[in-house]
């Protein structure tokens, strides 16, 4: 499956060296190669590499996180760290097959600040999310998932705009300008940050309920 000549979601991701990056009929591999050279914002300067989405070109569900973390930045692959481990475990529990899953992020470079020897995650700005939006739009156009699941507020706002609220709207299927229905849920990293075991268990159970809804939606969509 190929991306349309230009996404309907605004400008192509243009950078100092990259003009009209999503123009033309592009496969995921071609998009990935172009995104590797993206200069649409400054985040590339401190990141190891662009971390593009991963999964089959015909995946039925797309999970969208915020941005790669430290481990993802080094590996060049999304969701390979602890948050990805939790996402995978819960996805398996609710019966969403890995082969039908595409995972990506709203922002494709790791934004961080130094703290001693560590690189600490920094939330991307609205401008950085907007600069990356054409890549996300191109991924959705190419993969054509039946549902897009936003993990946390940054992904929710990238897909639905600044008024999106995970606490208010989680678990429902919402319309978006991107085409497929969108569901909001929490970011798995927020579950891992829960202050104690009881709240972690509760947050995990609610996350599992949200993904179970995605699983039944996909089963119904398959007929």
Binding footprint of ligand URA on the chain (CB under 6 A) = 65-69, 72, 78-79, 81, 83-84, 105, 189
| CB closer to ligand URA, 26 vs 106 | 106
Q: Which of 68, 72, 29, 28 is nearest to 151 (CA)?
A: 68
CB of 189 to ligand URA, least distance (A): 6
Farthest-apart Cα atoms in the chain, separation:
54
| CB closer to ligand URA, 12 vs 80 | 80
CB of 73 to ligand URA, least distance (A): 9
CB 191 within 8 A of CB 204: yes
CA distance 209 to 201: 12
CB of 80 to ligand URA, least distance (A): 7
CB of 81 to ligand URA, least distance (A): 6
Q: Return phi, psi of residue 22, to 5°.
A: -100, 10
3-state helix, strand, coil in the chain (%, to 5): 40, 15, 45
CB of 113 to ligand URA, least distance (A): 16
| CB closer to ligand URA, 12 vs 152 | 152
CA distance 187 to 200: 13
| CB closer to ligand URA, 152 vs 180 | 152
CB of 93 to ligand URA, least distance (A): 20
Tell how strand 147-151 and strand 182-185 pair up.
parallel
| CB closer to ligand URA, 68 vs 180 | 68
113 strand-pairing partners: 120
Burial of 57 (0-12, 13-18, 19+ CB in 10 A): middle
| CB closer to ligand URA, 12 vs 104 | 104
Q: Nearest to ligand URA by Cβ — which residue?
A: 65
CB 148 within 8 A of CB 140: yes
């Amino acid at each position: 499956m190929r991306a349309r000549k230009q996404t309907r979601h605004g400008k192509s991701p243009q950078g100092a060296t990259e003009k009209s990056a999503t123009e033309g009929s592009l496969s995921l591999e071609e998009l990935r190669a172009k995104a590797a050279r993206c200069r649409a914002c400054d985040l590339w300067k401190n990141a190891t590499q662009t971390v593009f989405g991963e999964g089959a070109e015909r995946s039925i569900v797309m999970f969208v996180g915020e941005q790669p973390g430290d481990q993802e930045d080094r590996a060049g692959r999304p969701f390979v760290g602890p948050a990805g481990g939790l996402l995978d475990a819960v996805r398996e529990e609710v019966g969403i097959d890995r082969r039908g899953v595409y995972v990506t992020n709203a922002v494709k470079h790791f934004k961080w600040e130094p703290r001693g020897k560590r690189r600490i995650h920094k939330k991307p700005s609205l401008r950085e999310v907007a600069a990356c939006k054409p890549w996300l739009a191109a991924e959705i156009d190419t993969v054509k998932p039946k549902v897009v699941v936003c993990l946390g507020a940054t992904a929710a706002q990238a897909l639905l705009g600044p008024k999106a609220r995970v606490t208010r709207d989680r678990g429902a299927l919402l319309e978006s300008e991107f085409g497929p229905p969108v569901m909001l849920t929490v970011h798995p990293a927020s579950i891992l940050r829960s202050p104690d075991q009881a709240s972690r268990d509760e947050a995990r159970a609610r996350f599992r309920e949200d993904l179970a809804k995605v699983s039944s939606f996909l089963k119904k969509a398959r007929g």
